[in-house]
Amino acid sequence: MKNRSFLLVTPAIAVFSLLFVLPFIYFFLISLWKIKFFKLVRDFNLVNYEKAIFNYIEIFITTYSVSIPVAIITTVIGFYYSYLARFKTGKFGSLMIFIALITLFGGYLMKIYAWKTILGNEGIINSILIYFHIIKEPLSFLLYTKHGLVITFVHFLLPFSILPTYAAMRGVNEIELDSMKDLGAKFYHVHFMLFFQRCRTGVLASFVFCLLITSGDYITPYLIGGKITFIGNMIAPKFGQFFDWPGGSAMSFTMLVISISIILIVSFLFKLTDPK
Amino acid sequence: MNKYKSGLRRIRNFGLSRRNFNKGLLGTAAAAGLATAGIPGTASAATDITFLGWEGYDAGLFVDSYLADNDINLNTTYIGNNDEIVSKLVSGGVGTIDIVTPYMGYIPMMVAADILQPIDESKVPNLSKIHPFFVNDPNIIVDGVRYGVPFTWGCAPMMYNTKVISSTPESWGDLFKPEYKGKVGMMDDPLGNIMLAAVIATDAEVATSLTKKQLDDAIKYLISLKSIIRLNTPSWGDLADALARGDVVITFSGWETLKKFCVDKGADHIDYVYPKEGTFAWLDTFSIAKDAPNADIDHKLCDMIVDVPAQKMIGDEFIQGITNSDAIAQLGISKDYYPYDDLDGLADRATFFAFPPLEEGSGKTTFNEWLEAYERFKAA
């Protein structure tokens, strides 16, 4: 029986090893090498990590100054969207989830260009405001700024937040909530319990998805961020334009360590809310 | 100084317009269709030619039926920037890739890396029709041997919105006028941006031969642009989009064809000018990779791309600068988008610069130092 179970899981392990673990190890190794005239040289050193940390610290700060708020905002909105779908809208709850998921079929780039159309100088928002004489000049802070980036990221990531939080809420019985209210629990008691304790896994999964996708993105900052540079914008040309795979790998692993650290800190903070 | 002896230009990260993209697709579809049409009734296997270059640069090869008649499949891989050509060739592409389309500034480096093979000029008779402004650029001919066939070119002018800016700007310094703050656009092009910054803000005679201090001055200039620019786009298509939408009204660097991109987007009020400080020019070539599997066919394709039909197509359909004098004379409305009537005068406004040094020791900053310096601009 045990052997049979192992056999069944073997394909998954093989695929995971081949497509994730081995490339992971390879890129970690070359992050310790260097490049000379477009060729990799096996010269083990930590120079790439030193550069990744000290040369790009401001870009890491910019990246996480957007991706952490995006992860928090998206998770909170996703949580309350799921809450409405699970507990407040009855049979229309499934329709809400369907609507959220159907937006995934729209495609990533289409959403970016849609927001460019909405937020631009001659976009929908500015055109309406100017038409009704609310403003005279277009609001330029809407696009090519951090505001525009956050709006676009939140819209794109909402389905990734709603899915895990809604799945977690399905494990919560409505009777539990009614009992809490009958025993005098206030609105915030109920929501604190749901957010930090009963749905913790889903909420954390949502935060992790949003943080990792945002911090690793380089297309959205390029197209929506104007002159804002994310660390992904520096990593991508390392692998293509500059042919500096060691440098790009070291920057990627540095980003990974920072992201994992943030996730561990958030996870720890959640644990602090456990009842004593 | 001989005006026709020159150096080169920038990395072209441009994204083609939707129109060109569609044409690329049509070209690919045509290739597939023609190749398929050639298969029935023949016992011989088709010849596969591997093409690595900018999207659309292969389109000129389909203006006649040569590929179909000779049962040739053109396997295309489109690049996002010129460096991809080098990186793909050095990482296993030699021996499998036939045609590449580097801009001429890359050619000395690629010859040094031993990833290009010489062009046999006797197999490219249309070289004689290429305008002298382009044909013998010293970057293409290394140690007396030709490594590229120049087929398209352009410069880096300043683009501006004529609805907002009524009098034509004269200087790159106009970018810093208070009324344009936050309305300036640029394209994320490391080599081109440093070259142009060097032209504007340093005393370097050759914008690609910079001392450490001159490079620092160029980067400081670029960093100073950050206070006035609204966006630094990944492609020319996105910059044209921003110009057409009115998100930016003036640009640092540009490309003549952007004017056409904007017209296609319904904005016929975007024009360009070569400011008095000057700018740089660029030239793209058809080159043959080292150990290319089909060198004879590759030479034929190099000849085709500078023949009149292909050149007319590149000029009239893609609105790109062309090099064949006979084709230039036959261009239609697209002739207005480029200063063909005054190519001699162009040399006074736009310069072809050689590529920055690759190895240390010349006392000048190397290309790698440029890339590292450019990251300071990105990070600022």
Name all domains of chain A by residue range, CATH numbers in brackets. 46-271 (1.10.3720.10)
Contact call for residues B274 and B139 (beta carbons, < 8 A):
no
Tens digits of per-residue pLDDT, A142-170?
A: 999 999 999 999 999 999 999 999 999 99
The better pLDDT of the pair B292, A194 is held by B292
A40 and B CB contact within 8 Å: no
Q: Which of A12-16, B6-10, B103-107 has the lowest mean pLDDT?
A: B6-10
The better pLDDT of the pair B304, B360 is held by B304
Residue of B nearest to A243 (CA): B87
> For A241, which of B81, B113, B226 is closest by C-beta distance?
B81
**Collapsed DSSP state (helix, strand, coil) of residue B283:** strand
Averaged pLDDT, A53-78: 95
Domains in chain B with CATH codes? 18-153+282-350 (3.40.190.10), 155-280+356-379 (3.40.190.10)
**Confidence band of B44 (pLDDT split at 50, 70, 90):** low
Task: For residue B14, list chain A residues with Cβ-Cβ distance below 8 A.
Answer: none
d(CA B316, CA B329): 12
Cα-only R_g, chain A: 23
Task: For residue B190, list chain A residues with Cβ-Cβ distance below 8 A.
Answer: 241
Structure tokens at B3: 């005006």
Closest CA to B379 of B219, B195, B239, B233: B219
Which positions 141-200 of A are in contact with B (Cβ < 8 Å)? 143-144
Q: Which of B103, B375, B376, B377 to mutate to test the interface with A (most CBs of A within 10 A)?
A: B375
**Which chain B residues touch A if contact means CB-CB below 8 Å?**
11, 80-81, 83-84, 86-87, 90, 113, 182, 188, 190, 226, 229-234, 238, 241, 245-247, 358, 371, 375, 378-379
**Confidence band of A35 (pLDDT split at 50, 70, 90):** confident
d(CA A245, CA B64): 41
SS3 content of chain A, % helix, strand, coil (to 5): 75, 0, 20
Q: Which of A125, A228, A234, A241 to mutate to test the interface with B (most CBs of B within 10 A)?
A: A241
ipTM greater than 0.90, yes or no?
A: no
Structure tokens at A205: 């999964």
With a cut of 50, say whether residue B102 has pLDDT above it: yes
HSE-up of A94 (CA within 13 Å, CB side)? 1
Residue of B nearest to A226 (CA): B231
Question: pTM of the entire structure?
Answer: 0.78
A&B contacts, CB < 8 Å:
72
Tens digits of per-residue pLDDT, B47-97?
A: 999 999 988 899 999 998 999 999 999 999 988 777 789 888 988 899 999
HSE-up of B283 (CA within 13 Å, CB side)? 33
Judge: B232–A226 Cβ closer than 8 Å, yes or no.
yes
